[in-house]
Amino acid sequence: MSSPKIKVVLVDDHTILRNGIKSILSKDYKKRFDIVAEYSNGKEFLNDLENVLFDVVLLDLNMPVKGGENTLEILQLSHPNVRSIVLTQLSMDYMVESCARLGARAFLPKEVKPLELKRAIETVHADGYYFNQLFSEETLQNVSSRKKKNEQLTLQEKRVLRHIVSGSTSNEIADLLGLSESTIKSHRENIHRKLNTSNPYELATYCIRHGIVLE
C-alpha cells in the first residue's frame, strides 16, 4: 500500500517558478507529492490558511504585498507547527538565522536541482529540518542558543533594554521607570553579560538580527 502523498503549497510571485516546481513534483516517478494550492504572495496565503490542508509550504523570501519573512512571523504566532521551506536568492547569514528563528525548516536556492527539492520536501515532512550549505545544523543550534539567552532576560531587564536601544541614559531610564540609577546600571551589566554585548549599538544590532520585539 502506497504512503499518502505529501501535500505541498507554493507561495511565490513568479508564475514561471511556480510552474517549474509544479512540473518537477508532478513528474516524480514515486508520485510522492500533491500541489494543493498556490499563491502569488504571503497575504493571499495567510488569508486562505484556514481553507487549505497541507504538510509543507514552499515560501519565496522576496514578494510584493507580504514577503516571506513577514509571513513566517505571522505563522510563528498563529500556526507554529507549519513546516516551511524558504526559497531564496539571498544567502546572508543574518537572513537565514532570522527566518530560522521564525520557524523556517529549510532554505533552498531558487535554482535548486529537482533531486534536492524533492529530498528537502520529504525530509522536512518526515524529520522537521533539511540541512545544506545555506542552512546548517550549527546555524540551528546558534538560533536555539540565542533564543534561550533572550528568554533569560527578566521583564525588568527587557524594559531597560527597550530604553537603552532608544538612546536613553541610565539616569533617564531611572526616572522613566522609577528606579535608582545604580539599579539601572546593574540591569545594564546583566543585559550585556547575558547577550554578550558591550555597548548600546551592539544591543540594537542584536535585537534587529534576532527579532527581539521591544514593546
pLDDT, one tens digit per residue, over 93-152 is 667 777 787 788 989 888 889 999 999 999 999 978 989 887 767 777 666 666 655 657
**Residues 126, 20 within the same domain:** yes
What digits encode the pLDDT tens for the residues 39-82?
999 999 999 998 999 999 999 988 888 888 889 888 877 787 88
Phi, psi of 84 (to 5 degrees): -110, 135
Residue 164 predicted with pLDDT over 60: yes
User: Is 91's pLDDT higher than 70?
Assistant: no
Q: Is residue 93 part of a domain?
A: yes
Model pTM score: 0.66
Residues paired with 108 in a beta bridge:
87
Number of domains into which the chain is organized:
2
Same domain, 182 and 106: no
Last residue of a domain, one of 124, 144, 164: 144
Per-residue pLDDT band for 8 (boundaries 50, 70, 90) equals very high
The DSSP result for 25-80, as a single string, is: HHT-TT--EEEEEEESSHHHHHHTGGG---SEEEEESS-SSS-HHHHHHHHHHH-T
